[in-house]
């Protein structure tokens, strides 16, 4: 039986709900430049921009796993139907339309629900 390797570093603790925690990580120079550029463009801090990108990546992973669809179905344009069938909703972002779970915190992320975007466009 193989012995489990000893983990290096501090033990991981479960964060209390509703708190914000510090996360130490290292990234490559290209990733840092991209985060810096996006943070400047959005008016967010590096930490806020990194958190947004991590949240988005985690949601995309969950979404793609929940879709349980093939690349062929995606190529045939059935993505939106698959998202809707899984309970996701479309939101507008600075990057275009994205699909998020119904419980996604849109107000914190900067995404705008389609119905609010339409209202904003009607006002202008």
| pLDDT tens digits for range 33-88 | 999 999 999 999 999 999 999 988 888 777 767 666 655 666 667 777 777 887 88
- Stretch 11-35: mean pLDDT: 88
pLDDT of residue 46: 92
Helices 29-42 & 46-67 angle (0-180, nearest 10)? 100
pLDDT digits (tens, 9 = 90+) for 76-97: 677 777 778 878 888 877 777 7
Q: Is 100 exposed, middle or buried (0-12, 13-18, 19+ CB in 10 A)?
A: buried
pLDDT of residue 111 exceeding 80, the answer is: no
pTM over 0.85: no
């Amino acid at each position: 039986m193989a012995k489990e390797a000893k983990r290096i570093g501090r033990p991981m603790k479960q964060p209390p709900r509703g708190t914000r925690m510090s996360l130490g990580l290292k990234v490559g120079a290209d990733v840092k430049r991209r985060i810096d550029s996006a943070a400047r463009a959005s008016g967010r801090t590096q930490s806020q921009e990194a958190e947004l990108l991590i949240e988005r990546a985690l949601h995309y992973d969950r979404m793609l796993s929940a879709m349980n669809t093939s690349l062929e179905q995606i190529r045939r344009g059935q993505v939106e139907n698959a998202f809707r069938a899984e309970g996701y909703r479309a939101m507008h972002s600075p990057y275009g339309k994205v699909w998020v779970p119904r419980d996604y915190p849109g107000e914190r992320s900067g995404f705008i629900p389609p119905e609010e975007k339409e209202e904003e466009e009607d006002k202008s």
